[in-house]
Amino acid sequence: MRFRSIISCLPAALIVFTLARCAGETKEAEPAAKAVVARFVSAGLGDVAPDSAVWLEAPEMTVSMLGQDLTDPKLPESTLSEIRVRALSDTRSVAFRMEWLDSTRDAVDSGKLYSDAVAVQIPPAPGGMVPDSTMGQADKPVHIHLWKASYQDAVRLDEWSLNQTFPNATVDHYPFDAAGGDAKEKLTEQYTIALAAGNALIKKNGNGVDDLIAHGFGTLAHLSSARFPKGWSRWENGRWTVVILRPLSESEWPGGAGLKSGRNTFVAFAVWDGGKGQAGSRKMRSVWAPLELGGGS
């Protein structure tokens, strides 16, 4: 399935996204998305936490969410109709504030428990043909910033363990528990299979957000940037508010020259409700929405 669009002049609401299946199936074209306008802050972004007053100056847009019905395991019907998005930018960074309804706060990724999450997806550079909105394609990657409630709790609680959430949980014995120094580190890697295999997901995320790139389904890979992106969050009265801050460009990011103040591009979003068993490709997604970046030279 392909979503194709050419960055064009306004009005952005007239941009149309069409779909086609390789097998010959056809599906009604998805509606055009309204533009997300990133208000330009000439003095710099400063505090962009969810409760910061600076967000009151940014226009709020409603972004419709769809089910993920393209690859297994699927989520054919979305359990969330929309998210509310605000954006801010300066000459160096862009920040997104996303708000959506979720009756439960799910922040554990262990066993059969899944964390609430949200992701921002952006083409690596503005201009030309945008990649598929469904995680890009072989010759046109997408840049993805993934926030998880479990990551945020790990930052807040420092060395998080399952016992912090389930204090009565017990295990018989882990060999590294009784060791110390270099022996503890070696045993931890030996008996933690994901760590030994170099799985980046097992490593502590100090910013609350994963920095990722994808060339289509099944190609998601971590990038090496340790400084960006960053995340903040608040869950209150059945509602998540999450902020993701990223630079417009970063030398360590592959796939393109990055964004530039005053150059418009596109953005898409995905949301996972951990309490409803949503993880991996079982997610709710949006189509590309035009992203208007203020400023410029």
Q: Tens digit of pLDDT per residue, the chain (297 long)?
A: 333 333 333 333 333 333 333 333 333 334 457 899 999 999 889 899 999 999 999 999 999 999 998 889 999 999 999 999 999 999 999 999 999 999 999 998 887 899 999 999 999 888 778 899 999 999 899 999 999 999 888 777 765 566 666 777 776 777 777 777 788 778 877 777 666 766 665 565 667 899 999 999 889 988 865 567 899 999 999 999 999 999 998 877 777 778 889 999 999 999 999 999 999 999 999 999 999 998 765
Within a domain: 142: yes
Given a contact cutoff of 8 angstroms between Cβ atoms, the answer to whether 143 and 258 are in contact is: no
How far, in Å, are 21, 116, 155, 278 from residue 113 at the CA level? 33, 10, 19, 10
Domain CATH for 240: 2.60.40.1190
Within a domain: 20: no
Number of domains in the chain: 1
Within a domain: 21: no
What are the residue ranges of helices labelled H in 21-85? none
Within a domain: 76: yes
Query: Burial letters for 177-211: b for 16+ Cβ neighbours within 10 Å, e otherwise?
Result: eeeeeeeeeebbeeeeeeeeeeeeeeeebebbbbb
Task: Give the domain extent around 159.
Answer: 33-293
Within a domain: 198: yes
Within a domain: 3: no
